[in-house]
Amino acid sequence: MQVEITREYIDQVEEAIARDDKAFILETMADMYPADITTVLYELDANESKYVLDLLPPEVGSEILSDLDYDIRTDFLQYFTSEEVARYVNLMDSDDAVDILNEQNVQRREEIIALIENEEKADDILDLLHYEEDCAGGLMAKELIKVNINWRVRQCIEEIRRQAEDVEKIYTVYVVDNRDILVGRVSVKALLLSKDDKLVKDIYNPDVISIESFRDENEVVSVMQKYDLEAIPVVNIQGRLLGRITIDDVIDVMQEQAELSRQLMTGISENVEEDDSVFRISRSRIPWLVIGMVGGLLAAQFMGFFEADIALLPALALFVPLITATGGNVGIQSSSIIIQTLSSNAVIFENFAQRLLKLIMVAFLNALIISSLVFGFTYLFRQDFKLSLVVSVALFSVVMLASLMGTLTPMVLDKMGVNPAVAAGPFITTANDLLGLAIYFGVAHMLYEL
């Protein structure tokens, strides 16, 4: 029975838990995907979630625990004994198991590892615990299919059957030599179509893309995107095959990077969730709000230099929001494109002159269209040619300058080793406000001879 996840269904689950109606929960969740059950658990408290998880098959429970958000899972697992956690960890891929163990204190972590029934799984987990979470070694899973280059096809197929018990998805079969050095790959199709006594070295493909265990997770994402890989083998510095990273783990990294970039670009300095504490959410937002406030005060102080000009021509003040808002929007548009290019590890400094020329042409076209529209609108409603000319010329200049700043600032910060996403928020907006005002009143000075 397929159940739609609605507020009404979640209320029914809560009522079923309250009256200990196990049959309702098992019946309605029998055909649910683990990801859908996870959605339900997010709406329940920790005790209710544990009640549901205890009823489900351990295989389903292990997949749900793997998918839970870090903060929620950390709180949730406090209600489980080490034996209960070990039961689920024993059914997980080694990389997911390590993620959970890294969230526990040292004593509890050792208790869980000691309770894992599968000794090979426990050894794999211990190997992975040595790696930092944000490197290739920290992303990889030890479960994979590998065969020796000197084996015959018959032996390979038998080995694949044996290893496949621990590997949920077989993307490719890796070929190693007698020292476990990765030398290539062979497709399952090639094995099935070859005669049993054929040697692997006669049918394998030596063209295999791998990545070293110490490489940063950003490099992993870049390589898998560039070569459109579903999985990538991880090797040590000597080329020995250690594990593999699958596309689902890379997608998780990409989502985290996108979320972090979005938060930085909007002026949030920490990775926060909606259900975090009021203090943490406030702390993540206040630094850039203060910077924006300082920028606003500087802009107000800067406008004070032109107080006499505004007194002589009050209409100038009417277009200040237009100048500052347009400059900020153009700057953020330009920087967003550059940050996206930088995040993909593209070589942006190749053909730099050609790229810069293209930027100038785009900025010129946008500036011409916007300034022409503003000139026509202002002259139509104000009937003041000089004022219309001041606003349009100033806006043209601001769009050109903001485009240039929005492009160059992230590139300069990236060269300095600073996260360029930081530049796309209040930093560029504030800088463009000040420069935009300077250009605006400078043009007014020249045309009105104030």
> Could you tell me the two tokens for 135?
């490197």
- Report the C-alpha gap between 158 and 161 in whole angstroms: 5
The pLDDT mean for the chain works out to: 84
Whether the predicted pLDDT of 349 surpasses 60: no
Query: Is 282 found in the same domain as 240?
Result: no
pLDDT band at residue 375 using 50, 70 and 90 as cut-offs: very high
Mean pLDDT, to the nearest integer, of 379-389? 86
DSSP letters of 352-398? HHHHHHHHHHHHHHHHHHHHHHHHHHHHHHH--HHHHHHHHHHHHHH
Q: Residue 296 maps to which CATH number?
A: 1.10.357.20
- Report the C-alpha gap between 194 and 141 in whole angstroms: 29
Q: 265 or 162, which is more confident?
A: 162
Query: Is 176 found in the same domain as 44?
Result: no
Query: Is 131 found in the same domain as 80?
Result: yes
Query: Is 174 found in the same domain as 48?
Result: no
Q: Does residue 303 lie within any of the structural domains?
A: yes
Query: Is 317 found in the same domain as 384?
Result: yes
Mean pLDDT, to the nearest integer, of 352-376? 87
Mean pLDDT, to the nearest integer, of 202-225? 92
> Looking at 59-73, 108-122, 130-144, 281-295, which range is the least confident one?
281-295
Mean pLDDT, to the nearest integer, of 282-286? 70
- Report the C-alpha gap between 55 and 152 in whole angstroms: 46
Burial 403-441 (b: 16+ CB within 10 A, else e): bbbbbbbbbebbeeeeebbbbbbbbbbbbbbbbbbbbbb
> Looking at 44-58, 117-131, 339-353, 404-418, which range is the least confident one?
339-353
Query: Is 442 found in the same domain as 335?
Result: yes
Residue 373: predicted pLDDT: 93
Q: Residue 221 maps to which CATH number?
A: 3.10.580.10
Whether the predicted pLDDT of 333 surpasses 90: no
In the DSSP assignment, the letter for residue 104 is S
Residue 425: predicted pLDDT: 62
Query: Is 167 found in the same domain as 108?
Result: no
Whether the predicted pLDDT of 121 surpasses 90: no
Residue 60: predicted pLDDT: 92
Task: Say what the pTM is.
Answer: 0.68
Query: Is 436 found in the same domain as 304?
Result: yes
- Report the C-alpha gap between 311 and 183 in whole angstroms: 78
Query: Is 406 found in the same domain as 312?
Result: yes
Mean pLDDT, to the nearest integer, of 29-47? 89
Query: Is 124 found in the same domain as 17?
Result: yes
Where in the sequence is the domain holding 219, given as residue range(s)? 146-246
Mean pLDDT, to the nearest integer, of 71-100? 88
- Report the C-alpha gap between 336 and 384 in whole angstroms: 37
pLDDT band at residue 344 using 50, 70 and 90 as cut-offs: low
Q: Does residue 273 lie within any of the structural domains?
A: no
Among 88-97, 113-122, 236-245, 303-312, the range of highest mean pLDDT: 236-245
Please report the sign of the dihedral spanned by the C-alpha atoms of residue 434, residue 439, residue 442, residue 447: negative
Q: Residue 14 maps to which CATH number?
A: 1.25.60.10
Query: Is 88 found in the same domain as 28?
Result: yes
> Looking at 157-166, 174-183, 256-265, which range is the least confident one?
256-265
Query: Is 90 found in the same domain as 22?
Result: yes
Residue 449: predicted pLDDT: 66
Whether the predicted pLDDT of 346 surpasses 60: no
Mean pLDDT, to the nearest integer, of 314-334? 83
Q: Does residue 260 lie within any of the structural domains?
A: no
